[in-house]
Structure 1
Amino acid sequence: MANVAISELDKNCGKVVAEIVKLERKIFPKHESLASFFENELKKKNSGLLYLHVDGELAGYVMYSWPSSLYASITKLAVKEQWRRQGHGEVLLKAAIEKCRTRKVSCIMLHVDPLRTPALNLYKKHGFQVDCLVESYYSSDRNAYRMYLDFDSS
């Protein structure tokens, strides 16, 4: 059985940040990637990042923020291809939801490409609902669903 560990990024995780940036560049198109300003995002006081190691290897991460006292936002959730469909994304999502809950916000929002069916199904499984379609969110030919999880009704 694999050794799975989820950790919260702290200020002394330069090696982990480098691994995450490498993964970010591999998974997301350049115009969607936070890789070039990843470290600046992590320095913000209202953001957090959880990462998952499987047998000592970075398998995925989730980045979240709480821009106001009203809501939190999941800005990135990524799992390396070889670790997908094994529950690692779900573990990361649950952990991020719990972290956001501790901020006493009323809801969590996120955006997802409607064509990314596994991601969409994962979010729906955990109570996220589609709010609206945001046209040209990712690029001129790629839309996104804005989804939310309302803590008041869950």
Structure 2
Amino acid sequence: MAASSAIKELNRDSTNWAKVVEEMVKLERKLFPKHESLARSFDDEVKRKNSGLLYAEVEGEIAGYVMFSWPSSLYASITKLAVKEKFRRQGHGEALLKAAIQRCRSRKIQRVCLHVDPTRTAAVGLYRKLGFQIDKLVECYYSSDRNAYRMYLDFDSD
């Protein structure tokens, strides 16, 4: 059984800001190709207005993180979801995504969007499990030979 994780929000005034960002940059470099990585601009990305960063911590170690932004009340975007390999398939990605969705919902956002490589079947499965639907295939989204599904999750307007 996996150790339980705590979902935390990284705020600019967090005492552990530098340490947490450093760990996330390492993970970003390891998991994403250089042209998709935010490693060089991670600190700037997190400081942007109308953006959020949540991370899962297991026994003091960062297991993964999710970045999201909400340019308007119409929609939000999940810009990154990353989980360290040793923590995968233990529910950390799902917990992070649910927490990000809840943050968007609390801001009265109407739709959450994201892009995912169709070959990342585990990720596509997780997004579908949480209610995301495929909007369309975006050709050459990541590179000339890598496409993406554009997916969305609409909230009821009650």
Take 1:3 and 1:112, find their aligned partners in 2: how far apart are those partners?
27
Distance 1:100 1:26, change over 3 A: same
Residue 29 (str. 1) matches residue 33 (str. 2): yes
Which residue is equivalent to 2:121?
Answer: 117
Which residue is equivalent to 1:59?
Answer: 63
State, as a whole percentage, how many aligned pairs show the same letter: 71
TM-score where L is the length of structure 2: 0.94
Take 1:20 and 1:128, find their aligned partners in 2: how far apart are those partners?
25
User: 1:126 is aligned with what amino acid?
Assistant: L
Take 2:4 and 2:109, find their aligned partners in 1: how far apart are those partners?
32
Structure 2: segments with no counterpart, 5+ residues: none
Take 1:49 and 1:134, find their aligned partners in 2: how far apart are those partners?
26
| Secondary structure of 2:78's aligned partner | strand
TM-score where L is the length of structure 1: 0.96
Structure 1: segments with no counterpart, 5+ residues: none
Deviation per CA, 1:9-45, whole angstroms, max 9, x where unpaired? 0113111001001100000000000111111111112
CA shift for structure 1 position 98: 0.2
Which residue is equivalent to 2:6?
Answer: 5
Q: What count of residue pairs does the alignment treat as equivalent? A: 154
- From 84, 107, 112, the equivalent of 2:111 is 107
User: 2:145 is aligned with what amino acid?
Assistant: D
User: 2:88 is aligned with what amino acid?
Assistant: R
Residue 79 (str. 1) matches residue 80 (str. 2): no
Deviation per CA, 1:98-150, whole angstroms, max 9, x where unpaired? 01111111100000000000000000000000000000000000000000001
Residue 20 (str. 1) matches residue 24 (str. 2): yes
RMSD over aligned CA atoms reads 1.3
CA shift for structure 1 position 56: 1.0
Identify the range of structure 1 (38-47 vs 142-151) with the bigger mean alpha-carbon deviation. 38-47
Which residue is equivalent to 1:128?
Answer: 132
Take 1:2 and 1:122, find their aligned partners in 2: how far apart are those partners?
20
Take 1:133 and 1:153, find their aligned partners in 2: how far apart are those partners?
27
| Secondary structure of 2:46's aligned partner | helix
